[in-house]
């Protein structure tokens, strides 16, 4: 199962997770990242563009998951994570014309479905990159 499929199946709705939590919790489950339940709470503060409408929590949650998958000890150990992050952000930005929550909510949020469209599109990009870089995973 891909992250897209897992999120599309409804994961995160009943749990009332924000966008960053959906991405991190979902990626943790699908890609077996081994993040414990207590540490997953770190994503809670990134929803709603960190509560001020800036960088979308879909992106920050995904980046946290990439870091867990591709970093052995710390961010400065190489350039791979930065390359993956840049590709993730750039692909999302190309598709949605922004990475900022305020803009994305204004243009894509649906009253009934919330930010599902954005989350699903980001999950597709996330899955694509996990497949592309699978040989470099640390976990």
pLDDT in tens, 89-122: 999 999 999 999 999 999 999 999 999 999 999 9
How many domains is the chain built from? 1
Q: What is the pLDDT of residues 39-91, one digit of tens each?
A: 999 999 999 999 999 999 999 999 999 999 999 999 999 999 999 999 999 99
Range of the structural domain that residue 29 is part of: 3-136
CB 124 within 8 A of CB 88: no
CA atoms of 131 and 79, how far apart (whole Å): 18
CA atoms of 57 and 75, how far apart (whole Å): 20
Return the exposure string of 24-57: e unless at least 16 CB atoms fall within 10 Å of the residue's CB, then b: bbbbbebbebebeeeebeebeebbbbeeeeebbb
């Amino acid at each position: 199962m891909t992250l897209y499929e897992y999120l599309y199946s409804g994961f995160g709705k009943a749990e009332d997770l924000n966008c960053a939590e959906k991405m991190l919790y979902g990626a943790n489950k699908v890609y077996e990242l081994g993040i414990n339940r207590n540490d997953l709470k770190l994503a809670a503060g990134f929803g709603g563009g960190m509560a001020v409408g800036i960088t979308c929590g879909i992106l920050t949650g995904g980046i946290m998951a990439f870091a867990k998958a591709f970093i052995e000890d710390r961010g400065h150990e190489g350039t791979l994570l930065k390359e993956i992050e840049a590709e993730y952000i750039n692909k999302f930005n190309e598709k949605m014309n922004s990475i900022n929550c305020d803009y994305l909510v204004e243009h894509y949020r649906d009253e009934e479905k919330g930010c599902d469209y954005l989350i699903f599109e980001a999950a597709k990009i996330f899955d694509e990159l996990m497949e592309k870089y699978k040989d470099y995973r640390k976990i």
